[in-house]
Amino acid sequence: MTKQAAKLSTRIADTIMRQCREDGYHPYPLERWAYVPGMLLMAMARAGAQLGDDRYFDFMRLHMDYYIAEDGTIGTYSLEEYNLDQINQGKNLFMLLERGGDARYAKAADTLAAQLIGQPRTSEGGFWHKKIYPFQMWLDGLYMASPFLAEYAKTFGRPELTDEVAHQLLLIERRARDKRTGLLYHGWDESREQEWADSTTGLSKNFWSRAMGWYAMAVVDCLDHIPVAHPKRGTIIGIFERMCHALVRVQDPASGLWYQVLDQGDRKGNYLEASGSVMFVYAMAKALRLGYLSGGFREAVLKGWNGILERLVTEDADGVHLHHICNGAGLSKDRNGTFDYYISEAVVSDHYMGIAPLLLCSLEMERLLETPQGEFA
């Protein structure tokens, strides 16, 4: 297959493979056990499964084995940090187990599940984002932890943990949703002590694109593992569709993309941001394929995908590139959640924060575009 004939997902995965050292390791996942490397490994493994190319799955396995010792301990990971970000890479353990992986992968999964079972919580049982962020729930954390816990519950027969997943998804949506726009604020501080938190509601000040992208992906990925008969499943699908309507309302009509601060596209300094846009298209495309959304969303998904391809993606001799990625954002004393803060963060190209969801999104779009439109009633 020539480069021109290959699917975009193949071209992205091959771009990543070409960045590996001679020993097969990619420098980025070797830095530490963390959420973005974990997402990159998961995207590659999914590409291997969908495209029928074991090289991509073996890429994931090689880098996971770098961290998972024979006794199941995880290198560079500390349970006592109670950091939801550290759960995300554990999603790859289930694919390893499905491929006949040994007991050390199950032991590592048990360790990560133990963290979540003991995770510090708000008064309503919401996971703190990190031990060092007391009484704070962030949208980001729902993606980091909830799909892992949902798959763990299904794999190891722990239905009470499925109930926990549903509780986390519904609680943050109830607490973070703005009734006027339907959008979700980035974070919520139950104690109302943080400088970024509203003194009455405890909510942060703005709707950050990637934060909502994390949550949108969390919902559709959790639904893969929540049984059809679960009493909260329909509610989760319902709030997801309500949220998608809100996202379509702030989709830029000219480009099909989404702004860094979602509802302030006409404000000076705001920009069309790649990672959030890619995450929204991924989540809605997957939801269309699985019937969580009606076919009426297909137009918005296709418009978003075309905007990504036309405005954000380029290709050259080095492979596929993604541009206009927010390098990172959070909430703290120095990251106060204002509009000026969000637009002040560096904007970069080719960060794996954007490349990994782009690969996931391309896989979903390829499946969607191969599905006759009439199947989405």
Q: What is the pLDDT of residues 228-285, one digit of tens each?
A: 999 999 999 999 999 999 999 999 999 999 999 999 999 999 999 999 999 999 999 9
Domain ranges of the chain: 8-12+122-375
Quote the pLDDT of residue 373.
62
pTM higher than the cut 0.95: yes
Spatial separation of the C-alpha atoms in residues 31 and 19, rounded to whole Å: 15
Count the Cβ atoms, other than its own, within 10 Å of residue 111. Answer: 15
Tokens of 270: 């705001």
Q: Which residue has the tokens 């990637």?
A: 210
- Give kind and range of the element (H or E) at residue 4: none
Strand, helix or coil at 226? coil
Quote the pLDDT of residue 6.
81
* DSSP letter (8 states) at residue 136: E
Residue 63 dihedral angles phi and psi, to the nearest 5°: -75, -30
Q: Which residue has the tokens 């978003």?
A: 304
- List, by residue number, the catalytic residues: 140
Residue 261 dihedral angles phi and psi, to the nearest 5°: -105, 110
Contact assessment for residue 137 and residue 187, using Cβ atoms and an 8 Å cutoff: yes
Q: Which residue has the tokens 């006949």?
A: 100
Count the Cβ atoms, other than its own, within 10 Å of residue 238. Answer: 11
- Among 304, 350, 361, 279, which residue's Cα sits nearest to residue 7? 361
Give me the CATH code for the 8-12+122-375 domain, please: 1.50.10.10
Residues lower than pLDDT 50 in the chain: 1-4, 374, 376-377
DSSP 167-190: HHHHHHHHHHB-TTT--B-SEEET
Quote the pLDDT of residue 371.
77
What's the gap between Cα 355 and its chain centre?
A: 12
Contact assessment for residue 82 and residue 130, using Cβ atoms and an 8 Å cutoff: yes
Q: Over the stretch 17-36, which tens digit does the pLDDT of each residue have?
A: 999 999 999 999 999 999 99
Q: Over the stretch 126-135, which tens digit does the pLDDT of each residue have?
A: 999 999 999 9
Q: Which residue has the tokens 């992986």?
A: 101
Q: How many helices (DSSP H) and strands (DSSP E) are in the chain?
A: 13, 6
Where are the alpha helices (H) located in 32-129, listed in sequence order?
35-51, 54-65, 92-98, 103-117
Contact assessment for residue 260 and residue 276, using Cβ atoms and an 8 Å cutoff: yes
Spatial separation of the C-alpha atoms in residues 144 and 149, rounded to whole Å: 10
Contact assessment for residue 243 and residue 173, using Cβ atoms and an 8 Å cutoff: yes
- Among 271, 262, 252, 129, which residue's Cα sits nearest to residue 206? 262
What is the Rg, in whole angstroms, of the alpha carbon atoms belonging to the chain? 20
* DSSP letter (8 states) at residue 264: -
Q: How wide is the angle at C-alpha 275 spanned by C-alphas 270 and 277, nearest 5°?
A: 75
Q: How wide is the angle at C-alpha 327 spanned by C-alphas 326 and 333, nearest 5°?
A: 100
Task: Find all residues with CB under 8 Å of 244, minimum gap 6, and list them.
Answer: 216, 283, 284, 287, 293, 297
Query: How long, in residues, is the chain?
Result: 377
Quote the pLDDT of residue 101.
82
Residue 39 dihedral angles phi and psi, to the nearest 5°: -65, -40
